[in-house]
Amino acid sequence: MKKALIIGISGQDGSYLASFLLKKDYQVIGTSRDASVSTFSNLNKLGIREQVQVVSATMNDFRSVFQVLKKTQPDEIYNLAGQSSVSLSFEQPVETFTSISIAVLNLLETIRLLELPVRLFNASSSECFGNTNGQAATETTLFQPRSPYAVAKAAAFWQVANYREAYNIFAGSGLLFNHESPLRPEHFVTQKIVKSACKIHAGSKEKLKLGNIAVQRDWGWAPEYIEAMWLMLQQDVPEDYVIATGKTTSLQDFIAAVFSSLKLNWQDHVEHNPALIRPTDIEIFLANPTKAKEKLGWQTKYFMADVARMMVEAEQLCKC
């Protein structure tokens, strides 16, 4: 039985990954800053909380990381933790950099010092690319980060690449484009849209206030992206991969798809709020996931309209 350590198991990706690995007969261990008080609500929603062992770990504390890896001795590590909001990173740049970049460095250095025969997946981000001048991003596209979050993710990406080359560590980064699900917290704009639309459909008179809805993103279905993470660690050679659908649509299109699935006209319920516009933003994300298709045999089945519909269906079902 393989043993997997999921850093950030309580989040969207961590919870889906835990479920995925359990079905493949892995022993799954997950970390939380304080496992004794964390509710692990997403694990409970998926009905797997009792099948997962949880341990406390502070990822920006080297001693804490060292102790957890020495104790658990995992075969695979999935690093999915860190401050994950681009908007919040402008308000908390130090926390963002520490929770992402320093955490990855602590993981890599611990693996090196303990000489662990472990495979590491690092969750990187499409935000690293910044503006690509209309070109679809590949694994060799130049990084031009435009937020503290993106800067932190870019630093972590190069740390992984450096340790892979310098110390022959099996480590790779998945350059993940936007991927959503019902497990997304409400501070993510997709979930904010879904929840507001469902409330309006139920009779609420509230207005959905948003910033720049002209931005274009590549939106996928989170449970599919989990498989790509796992496949990356099953290869003979560690590499980095762009993980995306390859289809880009606007936030306005996502809004329209959500409201349309509820038979509502989004223009009747959405208001512009300039306070929600970021200091710097990226107008359009374009992705080329050809490498993942050719080398991993991975590609998505669901696209933006599917994601919007499934999130609405889940919200109506749970009425949460």
How far from 198 is each of 23, 25, 178, 207, CA to CA, in Å? 32, 37, 22, 12
Residues 20 and 115 in one domain: yes
Q: Which two tokens stand for residue 155?
A: 């630093």
Residues 195 and 114 in one domain: no
| pLDDT at site 275 | 85
Residues 149 and 202 in one domain: no
How far out from the chain centre does Cα 215 lie?
Answer: 19
Q: CB-based contacts of 234: which residues, under 8 Å, 6+ apart?
A: none
Cα–Cα distance for residue pair 80/104, rounded to 1 Å: 10
Catalytic positions, written as ranges: 125, 127, 149
Cα–Cα distance for residue pair 213/254, rounded to 1 Å: 9
Instruction: Print pLDDT tens along the chain (320 aa).
Output: 999 999 999 999 999 999 999 999 999 999 988 877 788 999 999 999 999 999 999 999 999 999 999 999 999 999 999 988 888 999 999 999 999 999 999 999 999 999 999 999 999 999 999 999 889 999 999 999 999 999 999 999 999 999 999 999 999 999 999 999 999 988 899 999 999 999 999 999 999 999 999 999 999 999 999 999 999 999 999 999 999 999 999 999 999 999 999 999 999 999 998 888 878 788 899 999 999 999 999 999 999 999 999 999 999 887 54
Cα–Cα distance for residue pair 307/179, rounded to 1 Å: 9
Q: Which two tokens stand for residue 262?
A: 């509820």
Residues 201 and 99 in one domain: no
What is the CATH number for 268? 3.90.25.10
Query: Count of domains in the chain?
Result: 2
What is the CATH number for 153? 3.40.50.720
* Strands 216-217 and 249-250, sheet pairing: antiparallel
Residues 289 and 260 in one domain: yes
Range of the domain at 228: 3-179+220-243
Cα–Cα distance for residue pair 233/284, rounded to 1 Å: 30
| pLDDT at site 320 | 45
Q: CB-based contacts of 313: which residues, under 8 Å, 6+ apart?
A: 261
Helix ranges, the chain (H): 12-23, 41-45, 62-72, 86-91, 93-97, 103-114, 148-167, 189-201, 222-232, 251-261, 290-291, 304-318
Cα–Cα distance for residue pair 87/144, rounded to 1 Å: 17
Residues 210 and 94 in one domain: no
Cα–Cα distance for residue pair 83/90, rounded to 1 Å: 11
Residues 89 and 161 in one domain: yes
Cα–Cα distance for residue pair 79/317, rounded to 1 Å: 31
The model carries a pTM of: 0.94
Q: CB-based contacts of 198: which residues, under 8 Å, 6+ apart?
A: 262, 312, 315, 316
Residues 123 and 271 in one domain: no
| pLDDT at site 34 | 80
Asked if 292 and 242 touch (Cβ cutoff 8 Å), the reply is yes
Residues 153 and 208 in one domain: no
Asked if 14 and 39 touch (Cβ cutoff 8 Å), the reply is no
Residues 10 and 124 in one domain: yes
Q: What are phi and psi of 221, to 5 degrees?
A: -100, 115
CA-derived radius of gyration, the chain: 19
Residues 190 and 166 in one domain: no
Q: How many CB atoms lie within 10 A of CB 155?
A: 18
Residues 273 and 302 in one domain: yes
Amino acid (one-letter) located at 213: I
